[in-house]
Amino acid sequence: MTTQYSICELNTDNIFDISDELWQKNCQEKQLLLRYLAVPVKEDESKLWLAIDDENNLNALEMFAFMVNKQIEPVLVASDELKYLLNALSPERNQLYEVNELIYGQQSLASNSDEPINRSDPIIQLLDNLFKFCLSKNASDIHIEPRKEKLIIRLRIDGVLHIYKTLSHTLTNRVVSRIKLLAKLDISETRLPQDGQFNFTTALAETLDFRVSTLPTSYGEKIVLRLQKNKPTHFDFLTLGFTNEQQATLLNALKQPQGLILVTGPTGSGKSITLYTALSHLNQTDKHILTAEDPIEIEIDGLIQTQVNRGINLDFSQLLRTFLRQDPDIIMLGEIRDEESAKIALRASQTGHLVLSTLHTNDAPSAIERLTKLGIQEYEIRNSLLLVVAQRLVRKLCNKCLGKGCDDCYQGYKGRIGVYQCLSRPPFAKEFEKQTGCLDFETLLDSAKQKIAENQTDLTEVERVLGYA
């Protein structure tokens, strides 16, 4: 007689949440489990929940029903989850997450893969679609957020978070476990933050890398997946959104043998890429360029790049002092953040070095106030300051649909462009005066309005970024 089995969804517990007792039993029976391709994951007095990857695996169900004399509840899991679980069975339970034969790419988007994709597993399908969507929309981060009654997946596209899907909270454990499994994290550890990474291969044989970070919250573990993108290799001021005039101003400042060039704006306003573009322009064989960064974001051949390390007290100031003994022509300091780094940067820029750095200020003119507050004398600023660039990133209107929204973009936007304000020392002027400095746009908003007039972005987006209009 054949019993009818209906597949059971283990919603509240994930399949890796096996009791120690059952785990030990499974280890002793590993050979049997391998033969029947089934793993008991939960047990009570009358029932045994059995993980299988094929609902037609009646052999296993019948065998276990006979062996344990309990009602069997089949739990359908993905083949790779089952394989992983079987591989991991060892009396030393903490080895569980070190053995990982999974390479997600082999069964993800690769259309010519030898292994069949288990399309029937809703979680795999969900993540597959999610990753495909991220690729097509060039998303930078995926947020998996358990809320009180929902699981929300949000994506950051061109710097803005959007809701991708709202799911039932009952899926939380499966989705979270699946990602933790891919990232080789300890699935049984849910109270401490963890981080890891994994990669997968697309149908076009592109390998994509994800950084994974988990955070225990009141409603479960929140996960952020950060897509590691290909770093830019080509640097161009006009592509970044500088106007022709602004490019000329920048190139003029970069030609100077000594002085200070500052790029200002909040975190995420694209200051680094502006600095890298300037450095790649200066990157000639007859120049000695040293950088102090936190962290090194892009490696450029020809530059000598160093990274601050607070753990051993190697901070910006320490690096900068060492730089001055290394005979540099050009110094890039990731950030002027305190009085000490400000003073050393100013001194370097007055003693035959071109110094590039960043400051956190809202616009270009406030950079001077900020330096003054950091204890720099006005005459020093006049002597050394060459140029201040203030900047923000705004989303670009999609070329194809001009903001209406199409398959090629997300809500009418595609990619981002910089909006810049330059405060520069007038050509041939020996000193920099706030009054006599050339300010190309009165405000960043004026600069942004030009981008609106050129149909590169729109008012809604500019108001979102600049907050006033």
Rg (CA), the chain: 29
Q: Does 415 bind Zn ion (CB under 5 A)?
A: no
**Nearer to Zn ion by C-beta: 296 or 406?**
406
Which listed range, 126-134, 142-150, 316-324, 395-403, lies at the site for Zn ion (CB under 5 A)? 395-403
Give the whole-angstrom CA distance, residue 295 versus residue 292: 9
How many angstroms separate the CA atoms of 211 and 197, rounded?
A: 4
Residue pair 316/348 in contact (Cβ under 8 Å)? The answer is no
Which segments of 91-206 are extended strands (E)? 139-146, 150-157, 160-168, 194-201
* Smallest separation, CB 458 to Zn ion (Å): 13
The verdict on 65 binding Zn ion (CB under 5 A) reads no
CB of 406 to Zn ion, least distance (A): 3
As given in the structure block, the two tokens for residue 65 are: 């029903």
Q: Does 401 bind Zn ion (CB under 5 A)?
A: yes
By rule CB under 5 A, what count of residues binds Zn ion? 6
Q: Are 109 and 127 in contact (CB under 8 A)?
A: no
Site residues (CB under 5 A) for Zn ion, limited to 220-239: none
- For position 330 contacting Zn ion by CB under 5 A, the verdict is no
Is 411 among the residues that bind Zn ion (CB under 5 A)?
A: no
Please give the Cα distance from 218 to 222 (Å, whole number).
10
How many separate helices (H) and strands (E) can be counted in the chain? 15, 17
Asked if residues 150 and 220 have their Cβ atoms less than 8 Å apart, the reply is no
For Zn ion, give the closer residue by CB, 15 or 409: 409
Residue from 11, 338, 400, 429 that binds Zn ion (CB under 5 A)?
400
Residue placing its CB nearer to Zn ion in the complex, 92 or 407: 407
Given 51, 386, 393, 409, the residue binding Zn ion (CB under 5 A): 409
Pick the closer one to Zn ion by CB: 222 or 396: 396
Q: Does 52 engage in binding with Zn ion (CB under 5 A)? A: no
The one segment of 340-348, 367-375, 379-387, 406-414 that binds Zn ion by CB under 5 A: 406-414
Please give the torsion angle defined by the CA atoms of residues 369, 361, 256 and 237, in that order, rounded to the nearest 10 degrees: -160
CA of 126: how far to CAs of 50, 62, 131, 153, in Å?
A: 23, 31, 9, 11
406 near Zn ion, rule: CB under 5 A? yes
For 51, the token pair is 């993980």
Contacting range for Zn ion; rule: CB under 5 A; set: 158-166, 345-353, 396-404, 423-431 = 396-404
Q: How far is the CB of 404 from Zn ion (least distance, A)?
A: 7
Interface residues toward Zn ion, by CB under 5 A: 398, 400-401, 406, 408-409
